[in-house]
Structure 1
Amino acid sequence: MSMTHRERVVKALNHEETDRTPMDFGGGPATQIHPDAYVALLAHLGIEPEELVEGTRGEGQVVVPSEEVLQRFDIDVRPAHLSQPNVRPRARIDEMTYIDDWGVRWEKAFFTAPDINVEGPLQSLVDPGISAVDSIDWPVPDDPGRVKGLRKRVQELRDNTDFAIVLNLPNSTFALSQRLRGFTELLEDLLLNEAFAEALQERVTDTICGIATTALNEVGDLVDGVAFGDDMGIQTQSYLSGDLYRKMIKPHHARFVGTLHSLTDAKVIMHSDGSIRELLADIIDCGVDVINPVQTNAQGMEPGPLKAEYGKDVCFWGGIDTQKVLPFGSAAEVAQEVRDRIGDLGSGGGYVVASVHNIQSEVPPENVVAMYDTVRESI
């Protein structure tokens, strides 16, 4: 029996079998596409070029696929995003530089790369004390600008379409703390200046819980998923040992995720790149329902064992390799990758097909088509 798009996603995220595996392209975290790849895709599909809509993450050179493209692939998910705040919205310094609402300076890298956070307002401090946390301007959590028009946009999606809706929130504690403090500096603080690191992360968590509360008070009853990002791994290992994660980060993740669950029945989706196998049980224990993007070629992230060990406790969103298969494989190899992921991650539900992170500039349009068309052919 055919399901609606929303039914398909909701059932999958409840670990139930569906008529086909649901798909995402630009709805959840880090599933958008580089402008060059998108323009090539439009040409390949015979769709008239359009004014590109900049990706809503703000620090990545990506665009949002148009509704015509999403309809072509029968994508099941649509995004909802917050707007810029009224107080200290993102400020463009020049063509290459801007400062976000957290006071972090970003610069463009090279043309295919995401922008880089190059300086945070606490980065230059040497051995800071707890009081340093109060020395900077913090975002206003209940700033009405963030949710201007949000209820109307999401209500229209809910009333006039059958798509699953994912609310995309800002990053979480670890990522935002390292942007404010500097990545190396934060890692040193976690080991050598625990009092400051804890005070910083406590304030960050207070702020993001407030932002989430403002957003979910508007649309928590209308969305099917609520997503946030907090990268905890690199290609070969997690950033932190399990012990350090449990001591310094997990309490903040648990508080943030608990806040989300208290405000909505939607599933909580956490984006974390890299090898996070060592941390996954603790992340699940925090209340995370769905892991994205399932970087399957990172160490310890082999999809079959992940599904076998954790598939009853967490769902998987992503899994289609963007490092080798999508950019450099043939369309046939992409199709096989999709069939493999449906086989090892999709058994019994609990899987949404998407790329492992945003589709980059070198990905041929034929491979994007193969990724999504194979899902429908696998019914």
Structure 2
Amino acid sequence: MKTMTGLERMLTTLKHQEPDRVPHGELHNPAVWQAIAPEGGTYEDFIELLDIDCVVGYDKLTGWNWELQDPEKGIVRDIWGGLQRLTSNQPSPMSPALAGPQDLEAYTPPDPDRPERYLWLQAWVKRWKGERACIAHATDVFDIARESLIGDVPYFTAMIQDPDYIQQVQEIILDYNLRYLKNCIEVGADALFITGDFATTTAPMVSPAMTRQFLLPPLKAAVELGHAHGLPVLKHSDGNIMPIIDDMLATGIDGLHPIDPMAGLDLEEIKKKYGDQVTLCGNVSCAYTLCEAPQDEVVREVKDCIRKAGKGGGYVCMSSNSIHSGVKPENYVAMVKAIHEFGVYPLDLD
């Protein structure tokens, strides 16, 4: 088989066909990639050094467009107007932008057409178009509504007491997301990636019926946008999504990430049951293996994941969430090298 580009590997895999080798890509924390990149090197240098097949980015790539509010406490305001506290470079919601429906009339959402939102993608397309899969990311409407605009408890309460309020807020967010993603497509994105959790480690956050009513229509709209332009769409959700997985797949998503092992999801079983419907992405443990295990254990887990899900294509070997700040750089390098070595088709891992 001829050597493929990263883009060809990704697209072949998403068509449930076997590429030359299992593809790989991640969301990378700066603490990790900067420790791996050549001295003084850029993120792009790091991607090329490890020959990563797909790159996932978004307009928040450098700084999340946060407006600093309290430097000493690490409090920032996100682009939706919500207050967040930064912990290890990750946001933790503090106070939502809206106190209730009475604030909607005066609320001004962010502008998806600001040119600076697309500088990262323009640079990637110029550098890698046709070589690596340049994937545009958007946070799920459900996540933004809960964490930035309404707040967790008020959101869940309003699902029952004031569903019109939920729908109004989500329409504002969805309009932004669809305009943002359409702009990314016009710049040259090769695929779309929608992140945001629908479940905890034990169960979905809301009932299947409310999942279908509130969570899935915005996802389906993003899928329809991608498909209308010939682009595949991937969805991330941690947690035990098994009670809602059929509903999620019914939206038409092309890829599902990360098949959360901490929630008891079994990559091999899900491959057997759903592998002909959706490409699976995951699930080398970033809770233990990539953080604490010796490198030979990293290699064993990579091989095990490929053995469980790689046959026939339809599998992207990734972490069980992301390459966060707690991941050992040397373990991540071992993971990528193992994918390149043991993910070559035809697979021979039995």
Select 2:85's aligned residue among 92, 103, 107.
107
Secondary structure in 2 aligned to 1:352?
A: strand
- Give the equivalent residue in structure 2 for 1:59: none
What is the alpha-carbon distance in structure 2 between the residues aligned to residue 138 and residue 32 of structure 1? Answer: 28
What is the alpha-carbon distance in structure 2 between the residues aligned to residue 69 and residue 207 of structure 1? Answer: 31
> What does the per-residue CA deviation read over 1:336-356, in whole Å, with 9 as the maximum and x for residues that have no partner?
110111111211111111212
Secondary structure in 1 aligned to 2:262?
A: coil
The residue type equivalent to 1:140 in the other structure is D
What is the alpha-carbon distance in structure 2 between the residues aligned to residue 373 and residue 200 of structure 1? Answer: 44
- Give the equivalent residue in structure 2 for 1:341: 305
Select 2:125's aligned residue among 154, 158, 162.
154
- Give the equivalent residue in structure 1 for 2:28: 32
In structure 2, relative to structure 1, the CA distance for the partners of 1:99 and 1:201 (3 Å cut) is same
Select 1:203's aligned residue among 157, 172, 189.
172
Structure 1 residue 186: deviation in Å? 0.6
- Give the equivalent residue in structure 2 for 1:77: 54
In structure 2, relative to structure 1, the CA distance for the partners of 1:118 and 1:304 (3 Å cut) is same
- Give the equivalent residue in structure 2 for 1:239: 205
Structure 1 residue 20: deviation in Å? 1.2
Secondary structure in 2 aligned to 1:239?
A: coil
* Contact 2:226/2:232 (<8 A) preserved: no
Structure 1 residue 321: deviation in Å? 0.8
The residue type equivalent to 2:175 in the other structure is D
> What does the per-residue CA deviation read over 1:297-342, in whole Å, with 9 as the maximum and x for residues that have no partner?
313x210111111111111222111112221222111111101111
In structure 2, relative to structure 1, the CA distance for the partners of 1:7 and 1:259 (3 Å cut) is closer
Identity %: 26
Moved over 6 A (4+): none
**1:320 and 2:284 matched:** yes
The TM-score normalised by the length of structure 2 is 0.87
In structure 2, relative to structure 1, the CA distance for the partners of 1:346 and 1:235 (3 Å cut) is same
- Give the equivalent residue in structure 1 for 2:19: 18
The residue type equivalent to 2:279 in the other structure is C
* Aligned residue runs from structure 1 range 230-269, under 5 A: 230-262=196-228, 264-269=229-234
Secondary structure in 1 aligned to 2:104?
A: helix
* Contact 1:102/1:139 (<8 A) preserved: yes
- Give the equivalent residue in structure 1 for 2:242: 277
Select 1:224's aligned residue among 171, 175, 190.
190
The residue type equivalent to 1:215 in the other structure is C
Structure 1 residue 38: deviation in Å? 4.2
What is the alpha-carbon distance in structure 2 between the residues aligned to residue 70 and residue 145 of structure 1? Answer: 22
Secondary structure in 2 aligned to 1:260?
A: helix
* Contact 1:5/1:76 (<8 A) preserved: yes
**1:137 and 2:137 matched:** no
- Give the equivalent residue in structure 2 for 1:58: none
In structure 2, relative to structure 1, the CA distance for the partners of 1:325 and 1:150 (3 Å cut) is closer
Secondary structure in 2 aligned to 1:118?
A: strand
Structure 1 residue 360: deviation in Å? 3.4
Secondary structure in 1 aligned to 2:105?
A: helix
- Give the equivalent residue in structure 2 for 1:374: 338
Structure 1 residue 151: deviation in Å? 4.1
The residue type equivalent to 1:17 in the other structure is E
- Give the equivalent residue in structure 2 for 1:94: 70
What is the alpha-carbon distance in structure 2 between the residues aligned to residue 237 and residue 328 of structure 1? Answer: 27
Question: How many residues align structurally?
Answer: 337
* Aligned residue runs from structure 1 range 60-75, under 5 A: 66-75=43-52
- Give the equivalent residue in structure 1 for 2:146: 178
The residue type equivalent to 1:274 in the other structure is G
- Give the equivalent residue in structure 2 for 1:63: none
- In structure 2, the gaps of 5 or more residues are 345-350
What is the alpha-carbon distance in structure 1 between the residues aligned to residue 60 and residue 200 of structure 2? Answer: 30
> What does the per-residue CA deviation read over 1:172-200, in whole Å, with 9 as the maximum and x for residues that have no partner?
21001102100121111112222212222
* Contact 1:4/1:163 (<8 A) preserved: yes
- Give the equivalent residue in structure 1 for 2:260: 295
CA root-mean-square deviation:
2.4
- Give the equivalent residue in structure 2 for 1:62: none
* Contact 1:325/1:333 (<8 A) preserved: yes
> What does the per-residue CA deviation read over 1:283-308, in whole Å, with 9 as the maximum and x for residues that have no partner?
11112111122212313x21011111
* Contact 2:158/2:166 (<8 A) preserved: yes
What is the alpha-carbon distance in structure 2 between the residues aligned to residue 10 and residue 359 of structure 1? Answer: 23
Structure 1 residue 102: deviation in Å? 0.8
- Give the equivalent residue in structure 2 for 1:120: 96
The TM-score normalised by the length of structure 1 is 0.81
